[in-house]
């Protein structure tokens, strides 16, 4: 799939005509980079003027506390973007962006465009409007995640997350983008306790799973 098609599936470029995109990319000083698996694209305490869009592969957004305990904030796939908040606030990052597999990223120098673009590009307004929409959807994603982790028990967190994933895919069978340790760090629980709870839920007939592929079983 070529870049223009991928970008038109992103929030940032939605409702922008395909023929306008090459000029926009020039204006945004677009640059493409490829990274191996487990590569830290942006680290904590870094600054950036560039928003990243995933062209292929996937990344995790993570953070570590003082003692090195990891929290997985989110997983991003093709057409998803990151670092939009850093670009807009010009603050130091509190998260890392790490590849989960070989990944290609398109970097866009959004900062100068949303603060002042004296070129008067005809699609500038559409871009900044999309930026507003992008940040709003990021807010909603954070609220959804918070909805999972505010649950009080490990089982409730799992049910909340897995049922939301099923709903998102429109299917009771689906893959999640995390291994066990990543899922535990995403839901803020202890890995082996979570595995034990998943095993109990399976023996109670609530769900089946094989590694990261899950099937929720409908109650009769």
Partner DNA sequence: CCTTGTTTGTTGCAAAAACAACATAATCTC
Partner DNA sequence: GAGATTATGTTGTTTTTGCAACAAACAAGG
Task: Examine residue 109 and tell whether it contacts its own copies (CB under 8 A).
Answer: no
Closer CB to DNA, residue 24 or residue 59?
Answer: 59
218 binds, among DNA, its own copies, none (CB under 5 to 8 A by kind): none
Q: Which is nearer to DNA, 90 or 192 (CB)?
A: 192
Give the position of tokens 């109650």.
219
> Which span (16-24, 149-157, 171-179, 204-212) binds its own copies, by CB under 8 A?
149-157
213 binds, options its own copies, DNA, none, Cβ within 5 to 8 A by partner type: none
**Rounded distance between C-alpha atoms, residue 92 and residue 207, angstroms:** 41
Strand order from edge to edge, sheet including 207-210: 173-175, 213-216, 207-210
In the list 90, 153, 171, 173, the residue contacting DNA (rule: CB under 7 A) is 153
Q: Tokens representing 180? A: 């066990």
Count of other CB atoms within 10 angstroms of residue 213: 11
Among 1, 18, 132, 217, binds its own copies (CB under 8 A): 132
Which of 108, 98, 53, 106 is closest to 78 using CA atoms?
53
| CA 105 distance to own-chain centroid | 13
Q: Which residues of this chain interact with DNA, rule CB under 7 A?
A: 152-155, 179-181, 188-199, 209, 211-212
């Amino acid at each position: 799939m070529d870049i223009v098609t991928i970008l038109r599936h992103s929030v940032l470029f939605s409702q922008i005509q395909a023929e306008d995109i090459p000029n926009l990319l020039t204006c945004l000083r677009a640059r493409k980079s490829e990274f191996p698996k487990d590569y830290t694209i942006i680290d904590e305490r870094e600054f950036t003027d560039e928003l990243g869009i995933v062209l292929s592969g996937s990344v995790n957004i993570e953070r570590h506390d003082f003692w090195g305990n990891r929290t997985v904030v989110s997983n991003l796939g093709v057409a998803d973007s990151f670092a939009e908040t850093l670009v807009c606030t010009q603050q130091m990052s509190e998260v890392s962006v790490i590849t989960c597999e070989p990944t290609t990223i398109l970097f866009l120098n959004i900062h100068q465009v949303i603060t002042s673009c004296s070129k008067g590009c005809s699609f500038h307004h559409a871009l900044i409007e999309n930026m507003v929409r992008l940040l709003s959807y990021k807010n909603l994603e954070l609220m959804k995640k918070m909805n999972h982790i505010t649950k009080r028990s490990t089982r409730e967190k799992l049910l909340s997350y897995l049922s939301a994933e099923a709903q998102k895919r429109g299917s009771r069978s689906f893959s999640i983008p995390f291994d066990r340790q990543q899922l535990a760090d995403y839901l803020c629980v202890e890995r082996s306790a979570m595995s034990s709870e998943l095993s109990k839920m399976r023996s109670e007939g609530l769900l089946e799973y094989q590694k990261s592929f899950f099937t929720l079983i409908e109650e009769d």
